[in-house]
A and B are shown apart, each in its own frame.
Chain A
Amino acid sequence: MPTLVVLFLVAGWPLLRTLWFSFTDTSLSDLKGGQFVGVDNFFYLFEDSTWRQSFKNTVIFAAISVSLETIFGLIIALVLNAHFKGRGWLRTAVLIPWAIPTIISAKMWGWILHDVYGVLNEILIFCHIIKEPLAWTASPKLAMVSVVLVDVWKTTPFMALLLLAGLQLLPQECFEAARVDGIHPLRVFWRVTLPLLKPAITVAVIFRSLDALRIFDLIYVLTSGSVETVSMSVYARQQLFDFQSVGIGSAAATLLFFIISLATLGFLMTGGLKQDK
């Protein structure tokens, strides 16, 4: 099959080369001249405070943003699933953040969050929520908040669509029975909708978590990869191209690859166990 050959060529081979590079001291200017150095690069990473920071950042980012996206996505999916006039408008509006390229949404939000001229500061001051403008993307405390905010804005629609598809597959009989019995809608939600929707939620959360763990472009553009927000992908690319050290960069990339593989396995195991019950 030609597809398999192409896939091996474009994905398999570079992956193997990256793996090899991670055990060498190759530099960017001389790709052929690397010497085998064993696991030195990995020890370097574990001792580098920036890498540890990037690990922490990525995990925190993924956990917070995926949880928020699940909650908001579920709310939007429930609203979209209700029958009312103008539902089409809502679905159209929800697709807009999804369609906007990540780089562009990062730039748009960069402008909205601008510390001096940004409209968000203006609105918050007008509503007396804050007293003076905040440096959303530049200050160490708020930079991560901004990244999470933009990511949630950008990817909640995707989550909502996945959950909506799950909602529409649910058997209608259960809801009719609940309505006939006169059970309160909130109780129906907790006791009927949520348990039935669990498989769909699991799949959506897995997809989004794996995606969030490899985040690169948003952080690269919004906060220029500052130490407070640096993710594992951003760190690896910095090592590779800004510091020209292909060995360490490849080691960081390989490590990320293994972390994501482990996460996938973990998700599959827990997800599979739950389905057996």
Chain B
Amino acid sequence: MRSKFYTPFLYLLSALIIIVCVFPFYWAIVSSLKTGSDLFKVEFWPAHLTFSNFIEIFKEQPFGHNILNSVFVAVGTVSISLMLAITASYALGRVRFRGRSALLLSILSISMFPQVAILSGMFELIRTLGLYNNLLGLIFSYMTFTLPFTTWILTTFMKQLPKEIEEAAIIDGASTLTICTKIFLPLLWPALVTTGLLAFIAAWNEFLYALTLTVESQSRTIPVAIALMTGASEFELPWGKIMAASVVVTLPLIVLVLIFQRRIVSGLTAGAVKG
């Protein structure tokens, strides 16, 4: 672009970045396709392909169950927090009232505080509510981090919508509820997809609460199941199976990210830079 030396350098740097980013995932795929002593040989493409690791994680471990758990928790968290966040962001983004920005800031600060700071209180609360070792308890606790940032991002989007549309609707005699559902919702649709996706990923990846608030392997979510996966003996980790499980879980996530990459980038930056 600028000089003859510059362009090849740019490509070289890009190639290096791509290799560093992709290699660990590639290595996990390669390792997941090997078993037995093959696993311990370093080869960049397996000589003997086998899918036995993939079959075994579903047969020997309640891994199918864990996936369903994660899907249930993530979908539940996303739907509830989006519903709550829409109403909240309408108030924060549209209605002018005193202390609005202070309220917005304190909501944001909740998403920044350390999860461990409320862990013992949360544990007691979940116990009292009888939701211990229950997926509903996980959805409940995940609200602590999804609700603040969905509200925050949706408020930013809500503020960008032109005020004239709303005023026109008010003049036409539409109620607040109609304005919300008939006018803002269609306009906010892209923002909702972005925010929902970010909340989904956050809930899907969460570890600390999932580890603390469930006990049986049946009710674990995927991150906990993978972290606690053990082999025949305590000291021998089943690396092939762990890699297989990692690939199974990560592949759909990566596909999702690739499809929605523009939206994700805009959502991440809307939450941070414009704040």
Expressed in whole angstroms, the minimum distance between the Cβ of A148 and any Cβ of chain B is: 15
Chain B proximity of A259: nearest CB distance (Å): 9
A194 CB-CB contact with B under 8 Å:
no
User: Is B116 in contact with A21, judged by CB distance below 8 angstroms?
Assistant: no
B141 at the interface (CB under 8 A from A): yes
Number of interface residues of B (CB under 8 A): 81
Taking a contact as CB atoms under 8 Å apart, the answer to whether A161 and B119 are in contact is no
Chain A residues whose C-beta falls within 8 Å of the C-beta of B134 in the assembled complex: none
- Is the beta-carbon distance between A15 and B121 smaller than 8 angstroms? yes
Interface size, chain A (Cβ < 8 Å): 90
A102 on the interface (CB 8 Å rule)? Answer: yes
Q: Which residues of B contact A90 (CB under 8 A)?
A: 14, 17-18
Say if the beta carbon of A269 comes within 8 Å of chain B.
Answer: no
- How far is the CB of B9 from the nearest CB of chain A, in Å? 10
CB neighbours of A107 from chain B (8 A): 226-227, 242-243, 246
A residues within 8 A CB of B269? 161-162, 165
* B21 & A3 in contact (Cβ 8 Å cutoff): no
Q: Answer yes or no: B183 CB below 8 A from chain A CBs.
A: no
| A203–B272 touching, CB < 8 Å | yes
Give every chain B residue within 8 A of A102 (Cβ-Cβ).
Answer: 205, 207, 223
Q: Contact check, A3 vs B125: say whether CB atoms are below 8 A apart.
A: no
On whether the beta carbons of B227 and A103 are closer than 8 Å, the reply is yes
Q: Are A236 and B116 in contact (CB under 8 A)?
A: yes
Residue from the list B14, B87, B114 in contact with A256, Cβ < 8 A: B114
Write out the residue numbers on chain A whose beta carbons fall within 8 Å of the beta carbon of B205: 101-103
Question: In chain A between 59 and 104, which residues have their CB closer than 8 angstroms to a CB of chain B?
Answer: 75-76, 79, 82-84, 86-87, 89-104
Please provide the 4 A-B residue pairs with the shortest distance between their CB atoms, ordered closest to farther: A14-B121, A17-B121, A214-B114, A3-B88
- Name 15 interchain pairs, CB-CB below 8 A, sorted by A: A2-B88, A96-B257, A97-B24, A101-B223, A102-B205, A103-B226, A111-B242, A162-B268, A162-B272, A203-B272, A213-B114, A214-B113, A216-B207, A220-B207, A253-B114
